């Protein structure tokens, strides 16, 4: 159903530039050049970032003539959410947080 994930999604979103690229693509689909215009680094560097985002299934690409249009592949964000939901028990438990803050205070 979904493509094989060649790159770890957590490692993909670790880089600030890649996160900015995702933010840009959240607003609109963009070509490689259009994206790299937004950064002080070379187009080649942006191209590498896009490959990593692509290999972690965070973005998808479609050819349009000589351009390649990148777009958000939102399905994969669910994986991060799933992982985070593991910690919800603590987040929701205000008591454990309060306990922690008190201990912080005392130290």
End-to-end CA distance of the chain: 52
* 87 part of the interface to a copy of itself, by CB under 8 A: yes
Q: Which of 6, 19, 43, 99 binds DNA (CB under 7 A)?
A: 43
Pair of tokens at residue 16: 């600030």
For 20, phi then psi, to 5°, come to -65, -40
* 20 part of the interface to a copy of itself, by CB under 8 A: no
* 71 part of the interface to a copy of itself, by CB under 8 A: yes
The contacts of residue 45 (CB under 8 Å, 6+ apart) are 36, 39
| Shortest distance, position 57 Cβ to a copy of itself, whole Å | 11
Q: Which does 28 bind (CB under 5 to 8 A by kind): a copy of itself, DNA, none?
A: none
SS3 2: coil
* 49 part of the interface to a copy of itself, by CB under 8 A: no
């Amino acid at each position: 159903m979904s493509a094989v994930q060649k790159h770890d999604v957590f490692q993909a979103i670790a880089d600030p530039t890649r996160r900015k690229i995702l933010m840009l693509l959240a607003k609109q689909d963009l070509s490689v050049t259009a994206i790299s215009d937004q950064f002080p680094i070379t187009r080649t560097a942006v191209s590498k970032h896009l490959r990593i985002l692509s290999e972690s299934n965070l973005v998808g690409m479609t050819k349009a003539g000589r351009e390649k249009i990148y777009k958000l592949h939102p399905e994969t964000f669910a994986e991060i959410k799933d992982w985070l939901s593991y910690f919800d028990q603590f987040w929701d438990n205000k008591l454990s947080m309060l306990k922690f803050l008190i201990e912080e205070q005392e130290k």
